[in-house]
Amino acid sequence: MHKQTVSRRGFLKLGGATAATVGLVAVTPQMAAAQEEVAAPNVALPYPDVDLTDLATAVTSEAPQYFSYPDDSSPCIMLKLGKPAPGGVGPDQDIVAYSVMCTHQGCPLNYDAQTGTLKCPCHYSIFDAELGGKMVIGSATVPVPQVELEYDEATGAVRATGLTGLLYGRVSNVL
């Protein structure tokens, strides 16, 4: 009599396949219909469109511009980096904007044009303004939110339309 043996790895694979099959079979037509009725969650926040054309016209590498977005409680900075950057807009794709609330404990960030970074004076976190606000070093653990900008080549208009990350201290960027 032939005795079939199954290796440990084979046993685990078999177990996984069986579990997957059981999982599929367990879904009845009624359950599938019920799942289809559950609406997909709407995760798009109603960000305001804010015209920043005047700031984009005024910003230079030596003169950052300050504004608030998406509301008055959220200070931001617009920078002209002098080279194309992720999320950069304008003729040179080098105009970017960020929240200036540190993602660690909300201290206001300072821009260092020499290094292209946003620096926190409280606990010394540093964020790379040339790399989408990526955290370089410090007590923060997440990037600083970047303001999503749109640029109209025909008119030169620049608008803020959203943010890439959660603002410090909030459960939602749009209150």
User: Contact positions toward ligand FES, by CB under 6 A?
Assistant: 102, 104-105, 107, 120, 122-123, 125, 138-140
**In the complex, least distance from residue 78 CB atom to ligand FES, rounded to whole angstroms:** 20
Best CA proximity match to 151, nearest among 63, 80, 99: 80
Whether the CA torsion 165, 124, 94, 67 is positive or negative: it is positive
Of 52 and 102, nearer to ligand FES (C-beta) is 102
2 a catalytic residue: no
**Catalytic pick among 10, 73, 123, 157:** 123
In this structure, the strands spanning 117-119 and 147-151 are unpaired
Q: How many CB atoms lie within 10 A of CB 98?
A: 25
**In the complex, least distance from residue 146 CB atom to ligand FES, rounded to whole angstroms:** 17
Of 100 and 149, nearer to ligand FES (C-beta) is 100
Q: In the 8-state DSSP scheme, what is residue 156?
A: -
Question: By the 8 A CB rule, do 145 and 165 touch?
Answer: yes
**Catalytic pick among 52, 89, 104, 132:** 104
3-state secondary structure 35-68: HHHCCCCCCCCCCCCEECHHHHHHCCCCCCEEEE
104 a catalytic residue: yes
Of 69 and 127, nearer to ligand FES (C-beta) is 127
What torsion do the CA atoms of 132, 72, 43, 78 make, to the nearest 10 degrees?
Answer: -20
Of 53 and 139, nearer to ligand FES (C-beta) is 139
Q: Which residues participate in catalysis according to the annotation?
A: 104, 123
